[in-house]
Amino acid sequence: MSRIAQAFQNKKAFIAFITGGDPNIEKTKEFILEMVRAGADLIEIGIPFSDPIAEGTVIQAANVRALAAKTTVEKLFTLVADLRKEFDNQKTSIPLVFLTYLNPVFHYGLTTGSTSGQTGYDAFFKRAKDSGLDGIIIPDLPFEEQEPVREATGKYGIDLISLIAPTTEERVNEIAKIATGFIYLVSSMGVTGIRGEITTDLSSITKAIKSITQVPVAIGFGIHTQEQAKEMSQIADGVIVGSAIVKIIAEHGEAAGPHIYQYVKGMKEAIS
């Protein structure tokens, strides 16, 4: 059983997002360990990018801070490898997933001597496997254009995690049939960010997905309170929280660790 599958086994999974390198790589490692200590079941690490089109202002600002700190894809691979050693020492199997846009994945191959897009994907996912990464989410990769990436992720045992949005109704069957890892169900239209209310009929979408696949479904975008997390966990197999955690880092900087711990602990307890 994969580490991602284990994260959902016999429980509701709390998935925590953090922008890699915000405010620096060392603190990112510290904050991730705090989230794991607080009960997070899976960690998403965002690769900072200059044009994060799916992100709201909170995560956009985190991308700027991380890039200013000279965060690179290679440094984040090293971070994943360091975390995997740490988890192995603690005898825990927390999955680590990258959230990134297609450009850094494609470009990684070019900077490592590749001469074609396919070889570029191959180089990225070989490095991902070697570092101990479990999965990847690529918001700007259209479903119809996934084949070259899916081929490379399959080759190296990395789960390509599919997103399903409220407008994806006519393609739910196609996406769900080939989904791996977990399905990221987007709670509402628009970009990431805290929402006061989530009104999408997520229950119907989740039921439609589960009629096709046994791959777990996790809901993200906008969730930030314990009440929202509890409500979403009654619909799906997991809850994803990003902007609220990144906002804590924006407010407290390098001293954010204890605040992140308390927040994640409360959210995990709410869905347990």
Contacts of 243-247 spanning 24+ positions with Cβ under 8 A: 243/56, 243/58, 243/59, 243/192, 243/193, 243/194, 244/194, 245/16, 245/17, 245/18, 245/35, 246/17, 246/18, 246/19, 246/22, 246/58, 246/59, 246/62, 247/58, 247/194
- Delimit the domains of the chain by residue range: 3-271
Mean pLDDT of the chain: 90
> What sign results for the dihedral spanned by CA atoms 80, 83, 89, 95?
negative
Collapse the DSSP code of 152 into the 3-class scheme (helix H, G, I; strand E, B; otherwise coil) and give the result. Answer: helix
Q: Check: CATH 3.65.10.10 for 3-271?
A: no
**pLDDT by residue (tens digit) across 220-256?**
988 999 999 999 999 999 999 999 999 999 999 999 9
**pLDDT by residue (tens digit) across 39-93?**
999 999 999 998 877 778 899 999 999 999 999 999 999 999 999 999 999 889 9
Rounded CA gap, 138 and 124, in Å?
A: 13
pTM comes to 0.92
